[in-house]
Structure 1
């Protein structure tokens, strides 16, 4: 079982591997810095997952530490590419967060999805997926959603584009079930949901979906994703930008009460 202290970002895992290789070779931070064109402070922040190394430094580290491609693989993982378990890592971080601030442009987030809705989204993203693998992924997502639903934390703040309400993923019945589920969680106070109106053509969410997680140790991390990869952002500037974007989205979105009315009205429209 994941615990808050066990959750590490991919960038922290990369830094930990750099440290392991450095200690294995017997190099100090100062010595390694001289060999790769860096310095003690920068490398220390890198090893603690607080600094994103540029390509030249990454190449130098892989060469000097005789990583034989291991650091290159770790970096690919830090950026979410070629890493099949990144969804599990993000799910664990989300589950262990104190608060989640989530903007979604196309669909409700995975941890708030009903079974048929989740199945339709996964099947659309991976049309060649074997049926048994599809079933496994759907059940895994449903179980995670149930864990989030039944827990007192994290605090869940969702902003979603109005057009997502009109999308009938899985058909009208599945869409209605999903919207009713969100309406119930909102009415019960488990989720604070706000909707960005579709006639607001230029707004802070135009760059795509993202999530900001407030972790138990007090830090914030941000997460952006596509169907194929996800990336955790830990740099203070990048995280602050996404936190500010979310605040701006809340400002232009409908109030929680008006948003709930809109969700309920969409359910009525489907049920007619």
Structure 2
């Protein structure tokens, strides 16, 4: 008589609020859940602190992938070329590949923290043995619910949100907004300088690649530029607030929906790092 094949339940933590809330939400529903974190070794110190806080609440260790091979190993393998939204080797090498290696050929249910109020897709493995499920979507949980889960548990929001960082991921993530680079400079000047040191001509072509779209970190940190970024950020906040105040009036006059004006250099980002 054939034995039933074991199914593994795996939840990937990114250091962000959604995956954290999902881990807390699923703790008592799936007692044998594996919690993993793909460690680039270039995360914010607040991210590592947050993972310890989550682990303490779960009463279970978070498995660290890439514990011995981090970003710098792959940076050298790619010839000293920093990643970007067009060259996302960091996602493949440091997130996707370690995750699939950890799963192996086992049957795996992968729990993903996409919310019911989000219109986007999470990472879907091409391996037939890995099935993604979305408990928040299935149960109709939205942002307000996620914030409540984190608050009532005592785990709280990720600590880096206190100084204005909006996403998890490496401290030099190229999806950061300009204002987030400014805040990194103000909060962790040592990490800003380390990120700046990666910006140098690519040996094979001589091209100069930058983390932040359109300018180097040496240019971005100039006092006049910092003040400009801060002013533009305040203007965007006021514009967004005004649009929200006028939303009902706009609906009355049947005006077409306008896409929300993005922050300068703000892309959706890599979901496997951000969720």
Q: Normalising by structure 2, report the TM-score.
A: 0.28
Which has the larger share of strand? 1
Greater relative contact order (Cα 8 A, min sep 6): structure 1 or 2? Answer: 2
Which has the larger share of helix? 1
